[in-house]
Amino acid sequence: MRSHALALVLSASLAGTALAASPPAYPAPLPEEPIPAVDTLPRQWPASWVLVHDFHFASIVDGRVYVLDTTSPERPVRGMIRASQFANMLLAAPRGEVLTSETFYSRLSRGERTDAVTIWDMATLEPKGEIVMPGGKRQQSVTYPQLFQLTNGGKWALVANFTPAQSVSVLDLDARKVVSEIDLPGCAQIYPTGTRGFTSLCADGSLLSIALGPDGQVASSKTVEKVQDIDRHPLFSTPAWVGQTAWFVSFYGQVQGFDMSGPVAKPLPGAFSVGTAEGGAPEWRPGGWQVITSDARGLLYVLMSPNGREGSHKDGGSEVWVLDTAKKARVARIALRGVAAAISVTREAVPHLIVARGDGEIDVHDAATGAFVRGLGRAGGANPILITPVPAAGGPGQ
């Protein structure tokens, strides 16, 4: 009994010594930080940055736009802008502004409706003004870039309306007011055209080009028939821009260019195919939300799925096919790390392909070689649906 008691005493003593000698089980306290802590971004964002629109399907009234540094896997998110209720976003880099076209209700999801374009400062990401649009007409739909565009050298913004009658509101960004509304019977989407105008695609396969006068009113309009075969080759509505040429791809992989430099859009001759490949089940087709993009050299990048079939055009893609428009041929294939919904290419000297996967992950690939470079995790929020590259210094805006 005495030996047993002594052993217990020694054991307790040694345990106490070990506890006394061991370091604390909790980390040192963090240094105090001032509250509020406000930082600013550079006036000219680097060309390695992109904006990612998180549609936030689980709470559409709480959509966001993330400002991402694609070179920094440790801290990719540089800021965030609200993009509420089926919002659309524009980067007006020469103005030092980001614009969001939004809808609000006085009781969050009901009550008095207000449509407005909010003007955000690129350096502070603080709102610096807004333009309220009367009538409750702004089109509320899943985000397409062609529902909100700039024209007239970036002085005006064009906003798509749907009541269900379709029209376009012309907003003067300097005067911060609505200057006109233009009816678009049977036509939709906004593609900047000429110095001061836009083009829309129409349900019968034609296009309508509208030139605006200095007062924002219609100066002239022109319909061009049969530019799209709705039944055999319907076009994805979001093109890739190379200068003032808009390159569209069809659901079945046909590429068609439109010259938007004059007052009337002109279809370019010689539409061509993205090509074919083995392994399709049943076949390779474009698929996703933002399915086509371009780089500064004019190459096109198309998001492709091997499971192409009727109705698969929004399912996403597992490869990106690179196209040379001069050769009218595919020049590379890039395998992705998962099924993606959106792609874009940075305007860096060494460009990178930015991929928003269906699981919310953002991947960065070398655009020239296709090699995976780094992952940014879920830096683009819950549902990254569109990616907007930042123009190189001195380059044009979106």
What is the C-alpha to C-alpha distance for residues 211 and 217, in angstroms, rounded to an integer? 9
Confidence grade of residue 9 (pLDDT, cut at 50, 70, 90) = very low
Could you tell me whether strands 254-259 and 266-267 are parallel, antiparallel, or unpaired per DSSP bridges? Answer: antiparallel
Q: Is residue 27 part of a domain?
A: no
Span 89-109, average pLDDT? 96
Q: Is residue 396 part of a domain?
A: no
pLDDT in tens, 37-85: 888 999 999 999 999 999 999 999 999 999 999 999 999 999 999 999 9
Query: Both tokens of residue 269?
Result: 């001759």
* pTM strictly above 0.85: yes
* Mean pLDDT (the chain, rounded): 92
Residue 396 reports pLDDT greater than 80: no
Percent of the chain with pLDDT over 90: 87
Please name the helix (run of DSSP H) or strand (run of DSSP E) that holds residue 82, with its range, or none. Answer: strand 77-82
Number of domains the chain is built from: 1
pLDDT in tens, 251-275: 999 999 999 999 999 999 999 999 9
Q: Is residue 169 part of a domain?
A: yes
Q: Is residue 345 part of a domain?
A: yes
Confidence grade of residue 26 (pLDDT, cut at 50, 70, 90) = confident
Q: Is residue 2 part of a domain?
A: no
Could you tell me the CA-to-CA distances from 78 to 31, 50, 283 in Å, in that order? 22, 10, 40
Residue-level pLDDT at 24: 65
Q: Is residue 270 part of a domain?
A: yes
Residue among 103, 97, 203, 110 nearest 150 (CA)? 97
Q: Is residue 35 part of a domain?
A: no
Could you tell me the CA-to-CA distances from 342 to 48, 68, 165, 355 in Å, in that order? 17, 15, 29, 6
pLDDT in tens, 169-208: 999 999 999 999 999 999 999 999 999 999 999 999 999 9
pLDDT in tens, 135-168: 999 999 999 999 999 999 999 999 999 999 999 9
Residue 18 reports pLDDT greater than 60: no
Residue whose pair of structure tokens reads 């470079």 in the numeric block: 373
Q: Is residue 246 part of a domain?
A: yes
Percent of the chain with pLDDT over 70: 93
Residue among 366, 145, 390 nearest 246 (CA)? 145
Span 290-308, average pLDDT? 97
Q: Output the furthest CA–CA distance in the chain (Å, rounded).
A: 110
Residue 2 reports pLDDT greater than 80: no
Question: For residue 206, what is the domain's CATH number?
Answer: 2.130.10.10
Residue-level pLDDT at 262: 97
Residue whose pair of structure tokens reads 């821009």 in the numeric block: 241
Query: Both tokens of residue 164?
Result: 């269900």
Confidence grade of residue 23 (pLDDT, cut at 50, 70, 90) = low
Residue-level pLDDT at 394: 56
Residue 398 reports pLDDT greater than 80: no
The domain of 366 spans 45-389
Residue 6 reports pLDDT greater than 80: no
Query: Both tokens of residue 389?
Result: 């590259």
